[in-house]
Structure 1
Amino acid sequence: MNNTDIEEMFSALGPVTIKRMFGGKGIYHMGRIIAIELRDEMMLKVDAVSAPEFEAAGARRWAYEGKKGKAVNMPYWSIPEDAYDDPDIMAHWVRLAYEAALRAE
């Protein structure tokens, strides 16, 4: 995903900063990480408060295989599919990601 597309995706929040990381990109707003892009997939920051809403919308949690084959769950979830076609729906999800980032402090 190119930086212009990422900036548009998060436009409801205002300006974002995009940094290379983990072979992908970290997306920051107001100095807080709110999303990561890995292998052309955007994953939003989620916490215990917002996870039920993401799960109910069919999003999936990012996990990777750690030591001894155990799954390591990360605090990032996929974006529900309907958000890609509707800027208002996308705005809802990116705001939830920012709220999760604020609570993480």
Structure 2
Amino acid sequence: MALDNGLVDWIAEGLAADGAVTHRRMMGGATLYLDGIVFAIVDGDGSLWFKGDAESDATWDAAGCARFTYERGDGRVASMNYRRAPEDCYDDVETLREWALLGAAAGRRAPAKRRKKPSPG
């Protein structure tokens, strides 16, 4: 499926006062960044998922926001630290900002990914 550019634009407009939203395409969807910090993904079905972590899990759980899961090649189900956006995020900018900023806070707390060093050769 194609990336829902309208949703990405809606998110960028809604968060304009909080920083610049950019994205990088991935597997039919996109990873979203707020001032360079990963805070959400949009999957190929047009669903929005915000970054979560141990510190924000209770808030996501209280709102009934499911964890992102996918089936691995070997048939096992795996999950990632992303939570489904509440339905109100798609049409209420204040709700969008509230949950997106919770995702951005989780993104800021995440350890920086270490770059692989090139092998000597």
- Report the count of equivalent residues: 105
- 5+ residue gaps, structure 1: none
Look up the SS of the partner of 2:79 in the other structure: strand
Per-residue CA deviation, residues 31-84 of structure 1 (Å, 9 max, x unaligned), is 221111102011111001111111211211110112442211101111112333
Counterparts of 1:82 and 1:4, CA distance in 2: 16
For 1:8, the equivalent position in structure 2 comes to 13
Question: Are residues 16 and 93 of structure 1, via their aligned partners in 2, closer, same or farther at CA, if it must alter by over 3 Å?
Answer: same
Do residues 48 (structure 1) and 58 (structure 2) align? Answer: no
- 5+ residue gaps, structure 2: 112-121
For 1:81, the equivalent position in structure 2 comes to 87
Q: Which has the higher contact order (CA 8 A, sep 6+)?
A: 1
For 1:33, the equivalent position in structure 2 comes to 38
Look up the SS of the partner of 2:18 in the other structure: coil
Higher mean C-alpha displacement, 41-50 vs 66-75: 66-75
Counterparts of 2:19 and 2:37, CA distance in 1: 13
The structure with the largest helix share of the pair is 1
Q: CA deviation at 1:91?
A: 1.3
Moved over 6 A (4+): none
Q: TM-score, normalised by structure 2?
A: 0.76
Do residues 66 (structure 1) and 67 (structure 2) align? Answer: no
Identity %: 37
RMSD: 1.7
